[in-house]
Amino acid sequence: MKNRFIFNPRIIRSPWSDFYGRELEDALKTHPESYLKKISEYGYNGVWLHAILRKTVSSSLFPNVKPDKINNLNRLVERTGKYGIKVYLYFCEPRGLKAEDSFWKKHPELKGQPAEFAGISPDIDGRYFALCTGTNAVKEFLEESFFNLFRMVPGLGGVILITASEFHTHCYSHFSKYSSFRHNFESWKREKFVCPRCIDRQPEEVVAEIINLINNGVKKASPEADVIAWTWSWVIIEPDPQKKLISLLPEDVILMSDWERGGYKEVSGKRYPVDEYSFSYTGPSLRFKKQIKIAKDRGMKVMAKIQIGTTHELTTVPYLPVPFLLAEKMRRLKIYGVDGYLGCWIFGGDISPMSRLAGIMSEFPQITPDQAVKKISVEEFGNSHKKIFFAWKKFSSAWKKYPFSIPFLYYGPINYATAYPISLSLLSCRRGIPAIASWMPVPRNVNGHLPAGDNTEHWLKPFSARTITGALRELLQEWEKGIEILVNAADKDSGNQRLRLELNLAQHIFLSIKSTINIIQFYHAIHIFQRSKSGTKRKKTLKWMRKILKEELEISKKDKDLVKFDNRLGYHPEAHTHLFTLKDLDYKISLLEKEIFNWKF
């Protein structure tokens, strides 16, 4: 009998799991049977969770690890197995330890290359030393620990390995021998390579050795388990497309490459790089195509890392309603002979029309994007399916206009823009306010309010204010057409709660983007005001700012109603919290009402 699915594995993630918290300890709570039943029905056969090897299973180097995580994993594997779902564990190994960790007093001989981090997250920031894989003890730790893990949890589906990431692991994880590599961490530039064991080794040899050791340990205990080597940030190790590194991997390892990363898209007539997950760029990138060709020529299976729900383009929504963009990606996955996919990062795994769509497009034979979107619209919205279909078409078309750049995604305010408290008190503000990471809880001031200040220098680049607002306005112009279709549908089908939720979501996304435009314009107006010596020009600028404040007041009032109706709005799964709340919107509303009422110039 022919396999029902084109892709295998098809991995998703529970939206309730806390990557930086008690991921394995709370796994049963975050993977209820109702959730597993639903994702199984939607066509998924894998879930992934984050683990740290030395805290999960005992080994000679890290003995006496409590068995609670292993016990929970066995119970989770048993539960997921009832629904045909495998559990995959995500590892960055061998995970380095902070410089002050007592481990180094016992094992100073295992200390490898140092690295320092700041501004990523409280869990990661600090000075670390790598666990040097040039030592036999660390090599044995890797192979032994993975063997023990799969021996003690025999039903595990496999492991997902990142060997170049934010986490400090091996000696070359944050040191590149290649001058062409560009990174954002200034501290890397200050570090000299000091590990005497690895200094004469090549980075690709070190990484390939780690993957080989892990593969040996896993396969000795569980020959059928998947070992997935993720190429994320391998540019640190070797220039793209990492032909040497891929050629050193075992042929039974699955190579996973990011679908969009390494691509380019046009914004306002200029070409910009895509270095993250994206719905606004369809892909695949040239980097992806080159990597999978190298792997396939060696007889290796290949996977794509995609997002099926949300991206960093806007994360604080349960999903982005752009199914035509996702359906086209799924169609191209099949064309390029992709064997399986990982469908979400720490965010984007919610049960939604988008996750349902990816499941449908994974079935054999694969139907067309239009057929798949129509099927979803009928099943989700009943009599209003035609209107939904055309609204989604508008939203998908609009999203292609998104002004993609890493600074904007990582440090811009789009995820909490409607609650961002712009105020006349910012008139005297200066640039140089620290960047605010979009993947972490937003820092608050002494009064518990969201901060405001001019940090646009961190997230407008490489665009100008005019370029980015122009692109966002083009997006909104098309998005608004989709909203009009949904409003018309809701008027005719007033009892359809599912339709109202979809309209609510679309309106919130519209307001979030509109507020982002206003924030950019407000700071641009401040710069004009501060530079101007003309009283007439200053008065004209203040009038423009007042218009922005009045518009923001209406936006915040409208969004308050939307957030009341759907409390998923504002929630960020990676930050594991709401980036803004109704209280934040209330504060902004009261602030703006007071300032507009007392306006004098």
Tens-place pLDDT, residues 28-53:
999 999 999 999 999 999 999 999 99
Q: If you average pLDDT over residues 313-317, what whole number do you get?
A: 98
In this structure, what CATH number is given to the domain that contains residue 321? 3.20.20.80
* Structure token digits, residue 208: 């390939």
AA identity, residue 308 = I
**Which of 323, 341, 367 is the last residue before a domain boundary?**
367
Domain around 549: 401-597
Nearest-5° angle of CA 153, CA 157, CA 159?
95
Q: If you average pLDDT over residues 543-562, what whole number do you get?
A: 96
Q: For residue 151, which of 231, 242, 97, 225 has the smallest C-alpha distance?
A: 225
Q: Using CA atoms, how far apart are residues 166 and 216, in angstroms rounded to an integer?
A: 25
Domain check: are 76 and 212 in the same one? yes
At 76-94, the pLDDT tens digits run: 999 999 999 999 999 999 9
Burial of 229 (0-12, 13-18, 19+ CB in 10 A): buried
**Which of 367, 388, 415 is the last residue before a domain boundary?**
367
* Number of CB atoms found within 10 A of residue 160's CB: 25
Q: Using CA atoms, how far apart are residues 141 and 144, in angstroms rounded to an integer?
A: 5
Within 169-221, residue ranges assigned H as helices are 186-190, 203-221
What is the reported pLDDT for 356? 97
At 447-472, the pLDDT tens digits run: 999 988 899 999 999 999 999 999 99
* Structure token digits, residue 7: 């892709």
At 317-332, the pLDDT tens digits run: 999 999 999 999 999 9
99 located within any domain: no
The span from the first CA to the last CA of the chain, in angstroms, equals 78
Q: Are strands 10-12 and 340-342 parallel, antiparallel or unpaired?
A: parallel
What is the reported pLDDT for 180? 52
Provide the greatest CA pair distance for the chain: 80
Domain check: are 302 and 217 in the same one? yes
Nearest-5° angle of CA 300, CA 161, CA 31?
110
Residue 572 forms beta bridges with which residues? 577
Q: Is the model's pLDDT at 601 over the cut of 60?
A: no
Domain check: are 296 and 437 in the same one? no
Q: Is the model's pLDDT at 178 over the cut of 80?
A: no
Q: Is the model's pLDDT at 2 over the cut of 70?
A: no
Q: For residue 247, which of 305, 198, 216, 207 has the smallest C-alpha distance?
A: 207
Q: Is the model's pLDDT at 304 over the cut of 60?
A: yes
What is the reported pLDDT for 427? 76
* Structure token digits, residue 314: 């806007």
Q: Using CA atoms, how far apart are residues 477 and 462, in angstroms rounded to an integer?
A: 23
Helix axes of 323-335 and 385-399: crossing angle, nearest 10 degrees: 70
318 located within any domain: yes
72 located within any domain: yes
Domain check: are 338 and 414 in the same one? no
Q: If you average pLDDT over residues 513-539, what whole number do you get?
A: 92
Domain check: are 217 and 82 in the same one? yes
Domain check: are 431 and 336 in the same one? no
Q: pLDDT band at residue 316, thresholds of 50, 70 and 90?
A: very high
At 380-408, the pLDDT tens digits run: 999 999 999 999 999 999 999 999 999 99
CA distances from 356 to 19, 43, 192, 309, 524 (A): 24, 8, 49, 10, 42
CA distances from 397 to 155, 359, 403, 439 (A): 43, 22, 14, 26
pTM, two decimal places? 0.94
What is the reported pLDDT for 1? 37
Whether residue 276 contacts residue 311, with contact meaning beta carbons closer than 8 Å, is answered with yes
Domain check: are 470 and 329 in the same one? no
**Which of 346, 367, 388 is the last residue before a domain boundary?**
367
102 located within any domain: no
Domain check: are 362 and 407 in the same one? no
455 located within any domain: yes
What is the reported pLDDT for 286? 97
Domain check: are 481 and 526 in the same one? yes
Query: Could you write out the three-class secondary structure of 383-445?
Result: HHHHHHHHHHHHHHHHHCCCCCCHHHHHHCCHHHHHHCCCCHHHHHCCCCCCCCCCCCCCCCC
Q: Using CA atoms, how far apart are residues 396 and 402, in angstroms rounded to an integer?
A: 11
Number of domains in the chain: 2
Torsion of CA 324, 330, 332, 337, to 10 degrees: -170
At 212-263, the pLDDT tens digits run: 999 999 999 999 999 999 999 999 999 999 999 999 999 999 999 999 999 9
Whether residue 479 contacts residue 506, with contact meaning beta carbons closer than 8 Å, is answered with yes
Average pLDDT for the chain: 94
Domain check: are 65 and 214 in the same one? yes
Domain check: are 334 and 454 in the same one? no
Q: pLDDT band at residue 67, thresholds of 50, 70 and 90?
A: very high
The answer for 432, left when phi > 0, alpha when psi is -120 to 50, beta otherwise, is left
Q: Using CA atoms, how far apart are residues 16 and 571, in angstroms rounded to an integer?
A: 11
376 located within any domain: no
Q: Using CA atoms, how far apart are residues 275 and 233, in angstroms rounded to an integer?
A: 10
* Number of CB atoms found within 10 A of residue 580's CB: 25
What is the reported pLDDT for 424? 82
From the CA atom positions of the chain, what is the Rg in Å?
A: 25
Domain check: are 297 and 422 in the same one? no
Q: Using CA atoms, how far apart are residues 77 and 430, in angstroms rounded to an integer?
A: 54
What is the reported pLDDT for 433? 83
The answer for 262, left when phi > 0, alpha when psi is -120 to 50, beta otherwise, is left
111 located within any domain: no
Q: Using CA atoms, how far apart are residues 96 and 116, in angstroms rounded to an integer?
A: 11
- Scanning the structure block, which residue is given the tokens 């099927």? 375
What share of the chain in percent tops pLDDT 70? 97
384 located within any domain: no
